[in-house]
Chains A and B, each alone.
Chain A
Amino acid sequence: MTHTAEGDAATSVSSTRRGLLGASLAGAALSLVAGRATSASTGERVNAADLELLLFAQSLELAARDLYAAAITAGTDDPLFGFLADQHEAYAQGIASFIGEPANARDDAVYDELEASFTAFDRTSVATAGYDLESAAVATHTELLALLENADGAKVIASMLAMEARHCVVLADMSGRGDDLNVLLVNTADPILPEELS
Protein backbone atom coordinates (compact mmCIF):
# COMPACT_ATOMS: atom_id res chain seq x y z
CA MET A 1 0.00 0.00 0.00
CA THR A 2 1.58 3.27 -1.07
CA HIS A 3 0.59 6.84 -1.51
CA THR A 4 1.18 7.29 -5.23
CA ALA A 5 1.42 10.31 -7.46
CA GLU A 6 -1.51 8.89 -9.37
CA GLY A 7 -3.46 8.89 -6.18
CA ASP A 8 -2.64 12.57 -5.74
CA ALA A 9 -3.89 13.34 -9.22
CA ALA A 10 -7.08 11.50 -8.53
CA THR A 11 -7.50 13.40 -5.31
CA SER A 12 -7.41 16.67 -7.18
CA VAL A 13 -10.13 15.39 -9.51
CA SER A 14 -12.41 14.56 -6.65
CA SER A 15 -11.76 17.68 -4.59
CA THR A 16 -14.70 19.55 -6.02
CA ARG A 17 -17.46 21.47 -4.35
CA ARG A 18 -19.25 18.18 -3.99
CA GLY A 19 -16.18 16.75 -2.36
CA LEU A 20 -16.25 19.49 0.22
CA LEU A 21 -19.91 18.84 0.80
CA GLY A 22 -19.21 15.14 1.18
CA ALA A 23 -16.43 15.82 3.64
CA SER A 24 -18.61 18.11 5.71
CA LEU A 25 -21.37 15.52 5.69
CA ALA A 26 -18.86 12.94 6.79
CA GLY A 27 -17.89 15.13 9.69
CA ALA A 28 -21.50 15.69 10.62
CA ALA A 29 -22.34 12.01 10.45
CA LEU A 30 -19.32 10.95 12.41
CA SER A 31 -19.85 13.52 15.07
CA LEU A 32 -22.91 11.44 15.88
CA VAL A 33 -21.14 8.12 16.09
CA ALA A 34 -17.49 8.61 16.71
CA GLY A 35 -14.74 10.77 18.03
CA ARG A 36 -11.03 10.38 17.41
CA ALA A 37 -9.01 7.40 18.59
CA THR A 38 -11.15 6.97 21.67
CA SER A 39 -14.71 6.77 20.52
CA ALA A 40 -17.30 9.28 21.63
CA SER A 41 -20.19 7.05 22.50
CA THR A 42 -18.53 4.19 24.36
CA GLY A 43 -15.12 5.56 25.20
CA GLU A 44 -13.72 2.26 24.01
CA ARG A 45 -10.18 2.54 22.63
CA VAL A 46 -9.33 1.20 19.19
CA ASN A 47 -6.98 -1.75 19.70
CA ALA A 48 -4.14 -2.56 17.32
CA ALA A 49 -6.01 -5.29 15.45
CA ASP A 50 -9.01 -3.05 14.88
CA LEU A 51 -6.76 -0.24 13.76
CA GLU A 52 -5.28 -2.49 11.07
CA LEU A 53 -8.74 -3.45 9.89
CA LEU A 54 -9.91 0.14 9.74
CA LEU A 55 -6.78 1.22 7.87
CA PHE A 56 -7.44 -1.56 5.40
CA ALA A 57 -11.05 -0.39 4.94
CA GLN A 58 -9.74 3.13 4.43
CA SER A 59 -7.29 2.00 1.75
CA LEU A 60 -10.10 0.21 -0.06
CA GLU A 61 -12.22 3.36 -0.02
CA LEU A 62 -9.37 5.36 -1.50
CA ALA A 63 -8.92 2.76 -4.24
CA ALA A 64 -12.65 3.04 -5.02
CA ARG A 65 -12.40 6.82 -5.13
CA ASP A 66 -9.46 6.65 -7.52
CA LEU A 67 -11.16 4.11 -9.76
CA TYR A 68 -14.17 6.38 -10.32
CA ALA A 69 -11.79 9.31 -10.78
CA ALA A 70 -9.90 7.28 -13.39
CA ALA A 71 -13.16 6.68 -15.26
CA ILE A 72 -13.80 10.42 -15.34
CA THR A 73 -10.24 11.16 -16.45
CA ALA A 74 -10.65 8.58 -19.22
CA GLY A 75 -13.67 10.48 -20.50
CA THR A 76 -16.69 8.79 -18.95
CA ASP A 77 -17.77 11.98 -17.29
CA ASP A 78 -21.15 11.06 -15.83
CA PRO A 79 -21.90 13.22 -12.77
CA LEU A 80 -22.81 10.07 -10.90
CA PHE A 81 -19.26 8.73 -11.12
CA GLY A 82 -17.94 11.97 -9.67
CA PHE A 83 -20.52 11.65 -6.92
CA LEU A 84 -19.45 8.09 -6.15
CA ALA A 85 -15.79 9.16 -6.03
CA ASP A 86 -16.84 11.79 -3.48
CA GLN A 87 -18.78 9.22 -1.47
CA HIS A 88 -15.75 6.97 -1.13
CA GLU A 89 -13.51 9.92 -0.34
CA ALA A 90 -15.92 10.82 2.46
CA TYR A 91 -15.79 7.26 3.80
CA ALA A 92 -12.00 7.29 3.84
CA GLN A 93 -12.06 10.64 5.62
CA GLY A 94 -14.68 9.33 8.01
CA ILE A 95 -12.41 6.48 9.03
CA ALA A 96 -9.52 8.95 9.27
CA SER A 97 -11.56 11.08 11.62
CA PHE A 98 -12.34 8.07 13.77
CA ILE A 99 -8.87 6.58 14.07
CA GLY A 100 -6.88 9.79 13.86
CA GLU A 101 -4.82 8.63 10.87
CA PRO A 102 -4.70 10.55 7.59
CA ALA A 103 -6.44 9.04 4.57
CA ASN A 104 -3.56 8.89 2.11
CA ALA A 105 -2.78 5.27 1.31
CA ARG A 106 -4.97 3.51 -1.19
CA ASP A 107 -4.98 -0.23 -1.86
CA ASP A 108 -2.86 -0.34 -5.01
CA ALA A 109 -3.50 -4.02 -5.65
CA VAL A 110 -7.25 -3.45 -5.89
CA TYR A 111 -6.75 -0.32 -7.99
CA ASP A 112 -4.37 -2.02 -10.43
CA GLU A 113 -6.61 -5.05 -10.82
CA LEU A 114 -9.73 -3.03 -11.61
CA GLU A 115 -8.36 0.03 -13.41
CA ALA A 116 -8.91 -1.34 -16.91
CA SER A 117 -12.59 -2.01 -16.29
CA PHE A 118 -13.10 1.58 -15.11
CA THR A 119 -11.36 3.21 -18.06
CA ALA A 120 -13.47 1.56 -20.74
CA PHE A 121 -14.83 4.93 -21.95
CA ASP A 122 -18.32 3.48 -21.87
CA ARG A 123 -20.94 4.50 -19.30
CA THR A 124 -22.57 1.07 -19.10
CA SER A 125 -19.24 -0.73 -18.72
CA VAL A 126 -18.12 1.63 -15.97
CA ALA A 127 -21.49 1.25 -14.23
CA THR A 128 -21.08 -2.53 -14.39
CA ALA A 129 -17.54 -2.29 -13.02
CA GLY A 130 -18.83 0.06 -10.32
CA TYR A 131 -21.59 -2.38 -9.43
CA ASP A 132 -19.03 -5.16 -8.97
CA LEU A 133 -16.78 -2.90 -6.90
CA GLU A 134 -19.59 -1.67 -4.64
CA SER A 135 -20.84 -5.24 -4.18
CA ALA A 136 -17.34 -6.32 -3.14
CA ALA A 137 -17.11 -3.33 -0.79
CA VAL A 138 -20.39 -4.33 0.88
CA ALA A 139 -19.20 -7.94 1.24
CA THR A 140 -15.87 -6.74 2.61
CA HIS A 141 -17.38 -4.39 5.16
CA THR A 142 -19.80 -7.09 6.25
CA GLU A 143 -16.84 -9.39 6.93
CA LEU A 144 -15.01 -6.63 8.76
CA LEU A 145 -17.95 -6.24 11.14
CA ALA A 146 -17.38 -9.81 12.30
CA LEU A 147 -13.74 -8.99 13.03
CA LEU A 148 -13.95 -5.53 14.58
CA GLU A 149 -14.23 -5.51 18.34
CA ASN A 150 -14.71 -1.76 18.69
CA ALA A 151 -18.44 -0.98 18.64
CA ASP A 152 -18.00 2.57 17.40
CA GLY A 153 -15.70 1.41 14.62
CA ALA A 154 -18.40 -1.08 13.68
CA LYS A 155 -20.95 1.74 13.57
CA VAL A 156 -18.78 3.74 11.18
CA ILE A 157 -18.36 0.72 8.90
CA ALA A 158 -22.10 -0.06 9.06
CA SER A 159 -23.00 3.49 8.06
CA MET A 160 -20.77 3.16 4.97
CA LEU A 161 -21.98 -0.33 4.13
CA ALA A 162 -25.60 0.86 4.18
CA MET A 163 -25.01 3.42 1.45
CA GLU A 164 -22.72 1.19 -0.60
CA ALA A 165 -25.57 -1.34 -0.76
CA ARG A 166 -27.68 1.46 -2.22
CA HIS A 167 -24.92 2.39 -4.68
CA CYS A 168 -25.26 -1.17 -6.02
CA VAL A 169 -28.92 -0.63 -6.85
CA VAL A 170 -28.23 2.65 -8.64
CA LEU A 171 -25.39 1.13 -10.66
CA ALA A 172 -27.49 -1.94 -11.51
CA ASP A 173 -30.12 0.39 -12.92
CA MET A 174 -27.54 2.53 -14.75
CA SER A 175 -26.03 -0.56 -16.33
CA GLY A 176 -29.41 -1.56 -17.77
CA ARG A 177 -30.23 -4.32 -15.27
CA GLY A 178 -32.89 -2.50 -13.29
CA ASP A 179 -35.54 -5.12 -14.11
CA ASP A 180 -33.48 -8.01 -12.81
CA LEU A 181 -34.46 -8.38 -9.16
CA ASN A 182 -31.55 -10.68 -8.43
CA VAL A 183 -29.03 -8.11 -9.66
CA LEU A 184 -30.86 -5.34 -7.81
CA LEU A 185 -31.34 -7.14 -4.52
CA VAL A 186 -28.79 -9.92 -4.12
CA ASN A 187 -25.10 -9.52 -3.39
CA THR A 188 -23.07 -12.46 -4.69
CA ALA A 189 -19.67 -10.74 -4.51
CA ASP A 190 -16.75 -12.10 -2.53
CA PRO A 191 -15.15 -9.87 0.07
CA ILE A 192 -11.73 -8.33 -0.52
CA LEU A 193 -9.72 -9.09 2.57
CA PRO A 194 -6.15 -8.39 3.65
CA GLU A 195 -3.79 -11.26 2.79
CA GLU A 196 -3.42 -12.33 6.39
CA LEU A 197 -7.20 -12.77 6.69
CA SER A 198 -8.09 -14.26 3.31
Chain B
Amino acid sequence: MSAAEPRATFDRRQLLRTGGLTLSLGAIIAACGEDRAGGTDPGRVGEAPSVTPLPEGTVDDIVLLRTAQSLEHSAIDAYAAARGLDVLSAHQDAIAQRFVDDHTGHSVALGGFITDAGGEEFACANPWVTRRVITPIFDAIDDSDDPLRDVLNVAHALESLAAASYQSLVGSLTLPDLRMKIMQIGADENRHAAALAIAITGAPDGYVSPLLLGETAPEEEPEFPALWAVPSTFGMVSAVELVVGAPNEEGQRFSIDLQTPAANTFVYADQSC
Protein backbone atom coordinates (compact mmCIF):
# COMPACT_ATOMS: atom_id res chain seq x y z
CA MET B 1 0.00 0.00 0.00
CA SER B 2 1.47 3.33 -1.01
CA ALA B 3 1.30 6.53 1.09
CA ALA B 4 -1.07 8.07 -1.48
CA GLU B 5 -3.66 5.34 -1.06
CA PRO B 6 -6.41 5.93 1.56
CA ARG B 7 -6.18 3.80 4.71
CA ALA B 8 -8.45 0.81 4.93
CA THR B 9 -11.44 1.29 7.28
CA PHE B 10 -10.24 -1.43 9.67
CA ASP B 11 -6.64 -2.35 10.17
CA ARG B 12 -5.60 -5.21 12.44
CA ARG B 13 -4.97 -3.00 15.47
CA GLN B 14 -8.35 -1.27 15.12
CA LEU B 15 -10.14 -4.56 14.76
CA LEU B 16 -8.63 -5.81 18.00
CA ARG B 17 -9.49 -2.60 19.77
CA THR B 18 -13.15 -2.71 18.59
CA GLY B 19 -13.48 -6.36 19.54
CA GLY B 20 -12.10 -5.69 23.01
CA LEU B 21 -14.53 -2.83 23.52
CA THR B 22 -17.50 -5.00 22.49
CA LEU B 23 -16.52 -7.75 24.91
CA SER B 24 -16.05 -5.26 27.75
CA LEU B 25 -19.46 -3.67 27.16
CA GLY B 26 -21.07 -7.09 26.99
CA ALA B 27 -19.55 -8.05 30.33
CA ILE B 28 -20.79 -4.81 31.96
CA ILE B 29 -24.33 -5.24 30.63
CA ALA B 30 -24.40 -8.86 31.76
CA ALA B 31 -23.20 -7.90 35.23
CA CYS B 32 -25.87 -5.20 35.54
CA GLY B 33 -28.74 -7.50 34.52
CA GLU B 34 -31.04 -8.94 37.22
CA ASP B 35 -34.41 -10.62 37.65
CA ARG B 36 -33.82 -12.54 34.48
CA ALA B 37 -36.18 -15.54 34.07
CA GLY B 38 -36.71 -18.34 31.57
CA GLY B 39 -36.08 -21.99 31.12
CA THR B 40 -32.73 -23.58 30.80
CA ASP B 41 -33.90 -25.80 27.92
CA PRO B 42 -32.26 -25.35 24.54
CA GLY B 43 -33.74 -22.52 22.49
CA ARG B 44 -36.61 -23.36 20.15
CA VAL B 45 -37.17 -21.95 16.68
CA GLY B 46 -40.45 -22.06 14.77
CA GLU B 47 -43.79 -23.46 15.87
CA ALA B 48 -42.93 -27.02 16.92
CA PRO B 49 -45.21 -28.44 19.62
CA SER B 50 -43.72 -28.55 23.08
CA VAL B 51 -42.10 -31.84 24.04
CA THR B 52 -43.84 -33.95 26.69
CA PRO B 53 -41.19 -35.78 28.68
CA LEU B 54 -41.62 -39.55 29.04
CA PRO B 55 -42.73 -40.65 32.49
CA GLU B 56 -40.12 -42.31 34.65
CA GLY B 57 -40.13 -46.03 33.87
CA THR B 58 -39.90 -48.15 36.97
CA VAL B 59 -38.99 -51.76 36.28
CA ASP B 60 -40.59 -54.04 38.86
CA ASP B 61 -41.92 -57.58 38.88
CA ILE B 62 -45.21 -56.48 37.31
CA VAL B 63 -43.45 -54.75 34.42
CA LEU B 64 -41.34 -57.86 33.82
CA LEU B 65 -44.41 -60.10 33.85
CA ARG B 66 -46.31 -57.76 31.51
CA THR B 67 -43.32 -57.82 29.18
CA ALA B 68 -43.30 -61.61 29.22
CA GLN B 69 -47.01 -61.68 28.47
CA SER B 70 -46.52 -59.27 25.56
CA LEU B 71 -43.83 -61.54 24.11
CA GLU B 72 -46.29 -64.43 24.16
CA HIS B 73 -48.67 -62.34 22.08
CA SER B 74 -45.86 -61.29 19.75
CA ALA B 75 -45.24 -64.99 19.13
CA ILE B 76 -48.96 -65.66 18.60
CA ASP B 77 -49.15 -62.80 16.07
CA ALA B 78 -46.01 -64.05 14.31
CA TYR B 79 -47.48 -67.55 13.97
CA ALA B 80 -50.65 -66.00 12.53
CA ALA B 81 -48.59 -64.10 9.96
CA ALA B 82 -46.52 -67.19 9.16
CA ARG B 83 -49.53 -69.42 8.73
CA GLY B 84 -51.14 -66.74 6.58
CA LEU B 85 -48.39 -67.26 4.02
CA ASP B 86 -49.89 -70.70 3.40
CA VAL B 87 -46.57 -72.51 3.03
CA LEU B 88 -46.84 -74.98 5.91
CA SER B 89 -47.91 -78.56 5.33
CA ALA B 90 -50.95 -79.83 7.24
CA HIS B 91 -48.61 -81.58 9.72
CA GLN B 92 -46.49 -78.46 10.20
CA ASP B 93 -49.61 -76.34 10.58
CA ALA B 94 -50.91 -78.66 13.29
CA ILE B 95 -47.64 -78.26 15.20
CA ALA B 96 -47.85 -74.49 14.75
CA GLN B 97 -51.38 -74.58 16.16
CA ARG B 98 -50.10 -76.55 19.15
CA PHE B 99 -47.43 -73.92 19.76
CA VAL B 100 -50.04 -71.15 19.49
CA ASP B 101 -52.20 -72.98 22.03
CA ASP B 102 -49.21 -73.23 24.36
CA HIS B 103 -48.43 -69.53 24.01
CA THR B 104 -52.07 -68.67 24.63
CA GLY B 105 -51.99 -70.77 27.79
CA HIS B 106 -48.79 -69.04 28.88
CA SER B 107 -50.40 -65.65 28.38
CA VAL B 108 -53.41 -66.64 30.49
CA ALA B 109 -51.10 -67.91 33.23
CA LEU B 110 -49.00 -64.74 33.12
CA GLY B 111 -52.16 -62.63 33.26
CA GLY B 112 -53.04 -64.41 36.49
CA PHE B 113 -49.58 -63.80 37.95
CA ILE B 114 -49.85 -60.11 37.05
CA THR B 115 -53.26 -59.57 38.60
CA ASP B 116 -52.21 -61.55 41.67
CA ALA B 117 -49.30 -59.12 42.02
CA GLY B 118 -51.67 -56.15 41.79
CA GLY B 119 -50.95 -55.22 38.18
CA GLU B 120 -52.93 -54.94 34.98
CA GLU B 121 -52.27 -57.58 32.37
CA PHE B 122 -51.01 -56.70 28.89
CA ALA B 123 -52.62 -59.27 26.61
CA CYS B 124 -51.36 -57.96 23.30
CA ALA B 125 -48.15 -57.97 21.29
CA ASN B 126 -45.09 -56.08 22.46
CA PRO B 127 -45.18 -52.78 20.50
CA TRP B 128 -41.40 -52.48 20.24
CA VAL B 129 -40.98 -56.08 19.10
CA THR B 130 -43.77 -55.70 16.55
CA ARG B 131 -42.28 -52.52 15.11
CA ARG B 132 -38.60 -53.40 15.26
CA VAL B 133 -38.63 -57.17 14.83
CA ILE B 134 -41.79 -58.83 13.54
CA THR B 135 -42.74 -56.31 10.84
CA PRO B 136 -39.25 -56.08 9.27
CA ILE B 137 -38.91 -59.87 9.32
CA PHE B 138 -42.16 -60.46 7.47
CA ASP B 139 -41.41 -57.60 5.09
CA ALA B 140 -38.20 -59.44 4.20
CA ILE B 141 -40.05 -62.72 3.75
CA ASP B 142 -42.49 -61.11 1.29
CA ASP B 143 -40.08 -61.60 -1.61
CA SER B 144 -38.30 -64.66 -0.21
CA ASP B 145 -36.76 -67.32 -2.43
CA ASP B 146 -37.91 -69.95 0.11
CA PRO B 147 -40.74 -68.79 2.39
CA LEU B 148 -41.11 -72.20 4.08
CA ARG B 149 -37.45 -72.18 5.14
CA ASP B 150 -37.89 -68.67 6.46
CA VAL B 151 -41.10 -69.40 8.34
CA LEU B 152 -39.52 -72.36 10.13
CA ASN B 153 -36.42 -70.34 10.97
CA VAL B 154 -38.57 -67.47 12.28
CA ALA B 155 -40.52 -69.88 14.48
CA HIS B 156 -37.27 -71.31 15.85
CA ALA B 157 -35.79 -67.86 16.45
CA LEU B 158 -38.88 -66.60 18.28
CA GLU B 159 -39.10 -69.70 20.46
CA SER B 160 -35.38 -69.38 21.25
CA LEU B 161 -35.87 -65.71 22.06
CA ALA B 162 -38.77 -66.56 24.37
CA ALA B 163 -36.67 -69.24 26.08
CA ALA B 164 -33.74 -66.86 26.56
CA SER B 165 -36.07 -64.09 27.73
CA TYR B 166 -37.60 -66.18 30.49
CA GLN B 167 -34.16 -67.27 31.63
CA SER B 168 -32.98 -63.67 31.67
CA LEU B 169 -35.98 -62.61 33.76
CA VAL B 170 -35.03 -65.05 36.52
CA GLY B 171 -32.23 -62.76 37.63
CA SER B 172 -34.49 -59.70 37.67
CA LEU B 173 -37.62 -61.00 39.39
CA THR B 174 -37.52 -60.44 43.12
CA LEU B 175 -39.73 -63.30 44.32
CA PRO B 176 -38.56 -66.94 44.17
CA ASP B 177 -42.11 -68.10 43.47
CA LEU B 178 -42.26 -65.92 40.35
CA ARG B 179 -38.86 -67.21 39.20
CA MET B 180 -40.23 -70.72 39.45
CA LYS B 181 -43.41 -69.90 37.54
CA ILE B 182 -41.47 -68.07 34.84
CA MET B 183 -39.12 -70.97 34.27
CA GLN B 184 -42.01 -73.42 34.05
CA ILE B 185 -42.97 -71.46 30.96
CA GLY B 186 -39.31 -71.07 29.96
CA ALA B 187 -38.90 -74.83 29.93
CA ASP B 188 -41.84 -75.09 27.50
CA GLU B 189 -40.24 -72.53 25.19
CA ASN B 190 -36.96 -74.43 25.29
CA ARG B 191 -38.82 -77.59 24.27
CA HIS B 192 -40.49 -75.75 21.39
CA ALA B 193 -37.14 -74.46 20.17
CA ALA B 194 -35.50 -77.88 20.47
CA ALA B 195 -38.32 -79.63 18.60
CA LEU B 196 -38.10 -77.06 15.81
CA ALA B 197 -34.32 -77.40 15.60
CA ILE B 198 -34.64 -81.15 15.08
CA ALA B 199 -37.44 -80.65 12.53
CA ILE B 200 -35.35 -78.13 10.57
CA THR B 201 -31.87 -79.70 10.79
CA GLY B 202 -33.02 -83.32 10.96
CA ALA B 203 -32.11 -86.15 13.32
CA PRO B 204 -29.58 -86.97 14.58
CA ASP B 205 -27.62 -84.01 13.14
CA GLY B 206 -29.99 -81.56 14.79
CA TYR B 207 -29.62 -82.99 18.28
CA VAL B 208 -26.44 -81.34 19.56
CA SER B 209 -24.00 -78.68 18.39
CA PRO B 210 -20.96 -80.47 16.95
CA LEU B 211 -18.78 -78.12 18.98
CA LEU B 212 -20.12 -79.75 22.14
CA LEU B 213 -19.13 -83.12 20.73
CA GLY B 214 -15.53 -82.03 20.31
CA GLU B 215 -15.75 -81.31 16.60
CA THR B 216 -14.34 -78.15 15.06
CA ALA B 217 -16.43 -75.36 13.61
CA PRO B 218 -16.60 -75.13 9.81
CA GLU B 219 -14.14 -72.61 8.40
CA GLU B 220 -16.82 -70.76 6.49
CA GLU B 221 -19.82 -69.26 8.25
CA PRO B 222 -23.01 -70.90 6.99
CA GLU B 223 -25.43 -68.62 5.13
CA PHE B 224 -28.14 -69.42 7.67
CA PRO B 225 -27.39 -69.98 11.37
CA ALA B 226 -27.09 -73.71 12.08
CA LEU B 227 -29.75 -74.95 14.49
CA TRP B 228 -29.48 -77.65 17.14
CA ALA B 229 -31.78 -78.79 19.91
CA VAL B 230 -28.90 -78.43 22.38
CA PRO B 231 -26.73 -75.55 21.19
CA SER B 232 -24.75 -75.02 24.40
CA THR B 233 -23.96 -76.55 27.78
CA PHE B 234 -25.81 -73.90 29.76
CA GLY B 235 -28.84 -71.96 28.61
CA MET B 236 -27.67 -68.70 27.08
CA VAL B 237 -29.32 -65.29 27.15
CA SER B 238 -27.34 -63.83 24.26
CA ALA B 239 -28.91 -62.56 21.03
CA VAL B 240 -30.62 -64.97 18.66
CA GLU B 241 -29.50 -64.52 15.07
CA LEU B 242 -32.05 -64.83 12.28
CA VAL B 243 -31.50 -64.64 8.52
CA VAL B 244 -34.47 -64.57 6.11
CA GLY B 245 -35.55 -63.37 2.70
CA ALA B 246 -34.02 -63.36 -0.75
CA PRO B 247 -30.47 -62.11 -1.33
CA ASN B 248 -30.20 -58.50 -2.46
CA GLU B 249 -27.99 -57.25 -5.34
CA GLU B 250 -24.95 -57.70 -3.13
CA GLY B 251 -25.93 -61.24 -2.20
CA GLN B 252 -26.88 -60.28 1.36
CA ARG B 253 -30.06 -61.49 3.04
CA PHE B 254 -31.99 -59.68 5.76
CA SER B 255 -30.34 -60.43 9.09
CA ILE B 256 -31.45 -59.47 12.58
CA ASP B 257 -30.29 -60.20 16.13
CA LEU B 258 -33.21 -60.80 18.47
CA GLN B 259 -32.46 -59.48 21.95
CA THR B 260 -33.93 -60.45 25.31
CA PRO B 261 -36.08 -57.77 27.01
CA ALA B 262 -34.39 -54.51 27.91
CA ALA B 263 -35.37 -50.90 28.62
CA ASN B 264 -37.12 -50.28 25.30
CA THR B 265 -38.90 -53.63 25.23
CA PHE B 266 -40.30 -53.49 28.76
CA VAL B 267 -44.03 -52.91 29.04
CA TYR B 268 -44.22 -50.19 31.69
CA ALA B 269 -47.13 -49.48 33.99
CA ASP B 270 -48.40 -46.57 31.86
CA GLN B 271 -48.68 -48.66 28.69
CA SER B 272 -51.91 -50.31 27.68
CA CYS B 273 -53.03 -52.42 24.72
Contact = CB atoms under 8 A, between A and B. Distances in A.
A17 B171 CA distance: 32
A29 interface: yes
A173 B186 CA distance: 20
B102 interface: yes
A145 B179 contact: yes
A25 B233 CA distance: 7
Given A159-B234, A165-B187, A181-B95, A173 B203 contact: yes
Interface string B175-197: 01101100110111011111100
Q: Is the interface of A mostly helix, strand, loop or mixed?
A: helix
B243 interface: no
B212 interface: yes
Nearest to B176: A146
B193 A166 contact: yes
B152 interface: no
Q: Is the interface of B mostly helix, strand, loop or mixed?
A: helix
Interface string A133-157: 0000010011101111101101100
Interface string A169-191: 11001100010010011010000
Contact of A162 (B213, B214, B235): B235
Given A18-B212, A29-B234, A142-B184, A170 B167 contact: no
Contacts of A163: 190, 230, 232-235
B254 interface: no
A17 B213 CA distance: 9
Contacts of A181: 95, 98
A162 B102 contact: no
Contacts, number: 143
Contact of B98 (A22, A83, A165, A185): A185
Contact of B214 (A18, A90, A138, A159): A18
B110 interface: no
A57 interface: no
Interface residues of B, number: 38
A80 B187 contact: no
Interface string A28-57: 011001000000010000000000000000
A16 B230 CA distance: 19
Contacts of A169: 191, 194-195, 198, 229
Contacts of B15: none
B198 to A, nearest CB: 6
A142 B233 contact: no
A140 B73 CA distance: 29
B230 A166 contact: yes
Contacts of B198: 169-170, 173, 178
B170 interface: yes
A173 B171 contact: no
A33 B171 contact: yes
A145 B171 CA distance: 11
Given A145-B170, A178-B198, A26 B234 contact: yes
A166 B212 contact: no
Contacts of B184: 142
Contact of B213 (A41, A79, A141): A79
B183 to A, nearest CB: 5
- Highest count of chain B CB atoms <10 Å: which of A138, A166, A173: A166
B89 to A, nearest CB: 14
Interface string B221-235: 000000001101111
Contacts of B179: 145-146, 148, 154, 158
A86 B209 CA distance: 14
B207 A162 contact: no
B194 A158 contact: no
Contact of B232 (A25, A86, A173): A25
B188 A185 contact: yes
A105 interface: no
Contacts of B177: 146
B157 interface: no
A167 interface: yes
B155 interface: no
20 contacts: A18-B213, A26-B233, A29-B232, A83-B213, A87-B233, A90-B234, A141-B183, A145-B176, A151-B171, A158-B179, A159-B167, A161-B183, A163-B234, A165-B188, A165-B190, A166-B193, A170-B208, A173-B203, A178-B203, A185-B102
